[in-house]
């Protein structure tokens, strides 16, 4: 996914949610949508890109479509509920899917050889065209117990240790590789819970 566009789309989505909200098509809302469209188009123009931006939103969803000078089209859609948010970014370079909140689930394509700690409370899941995944969540167990679980489980699943480091008794960084893929696990104790971040993908 092209970095310049992604920055502007996320900025545009944020602007829409703040100034307009996912709500009715009142005249002021339509005006705000058009203003955000122009902001994104100007942002792209500053990086030498031209694009036609269209924003549509209703009570629970928002979509932004960007069409560049080569007729390449990228669409960002966001759906919000009381249980969280889902966002998809579809474009010429592939698809990125993001989930956040209690409704976040492990994707079916998530690698079976990447260990998952039991009863992890997922907060965010990002999937990049089946080539890369990021999971973030929390655990109530002791951080050292969690670290030992991942150290043992990764080796059992055939991962080769690249670096294992404990910056303190409250933070661990674990890095592995396997058959052209990498796996990074970060653990940090905060407010009585262990924050877990798992990232895996191609080297």
Q: Which residue has the higher pLDDT, 129 or 104?
A: 104
Q: Provide the pLDDT for residue 42.
A: 75
CA distance linking residue 44 with residue 170, whole number of Å: 42
DSSP 111-141: -TTS---TT-EEEEEEEETTTEEEEEEEE-S
Most confident segment among 22-31, 71-80, 169-178: 169-178
CA distance linking residue 37 with residue 65, whole number of Å: 10
**% of the chain exceeding 90 in pLDDT:** 43
Contact status, residue 176 vs residue 160, Cβ threshold 8 Å: yes
pLDDT tens, residue by residue, 144-159: 999 999 999 999 999 9
Q: Is the pLDDT of residue 13 over 60?
A: no
Q: SS3 for 46?
A: coil
């Amino acid at each position: 996914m092209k970095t310049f566009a992604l920055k502007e789309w996320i900025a545009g989505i944020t602007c829409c949610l703040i100034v307009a909200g996912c709500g009715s098509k009142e005249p002021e809302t339509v005006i705000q949508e058009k203003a955000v469209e122009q902001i994104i188009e100007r942002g792209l123009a500053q990086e030498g890109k031209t694009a036609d931006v269209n924003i549509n939103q209703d009570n629970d969803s928002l979509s932004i479509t960007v069409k560049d000078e080569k007729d390449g089209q990228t669409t960002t859609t966001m759906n919000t509920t009381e249980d969280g948010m889902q966002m998809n970014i579809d474009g010429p370079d592939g698809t990125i899917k993001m989930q956040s909140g209690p409704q976040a689930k492990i994707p079916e394509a998530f690698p079976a050889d990447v260990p998952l700690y039991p009863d992890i409370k997922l907060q965010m899941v990002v999937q990049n065209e089946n080539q890369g995944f990021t999971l973030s969540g929390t655990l109530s167990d002791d951080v050292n117990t969690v670290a030992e679980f991942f150290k043992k489980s990764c080796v059992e699943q055939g991962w080769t240790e690249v670096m294992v480091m404990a910056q303190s008794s409250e933070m661990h960084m674990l890095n592995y590789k396997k058959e052209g893929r990498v796996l990074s696990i970060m653990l940090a104790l905060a407010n009585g819970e262990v924050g877990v971040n798992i990232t895996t993908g191609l080297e």
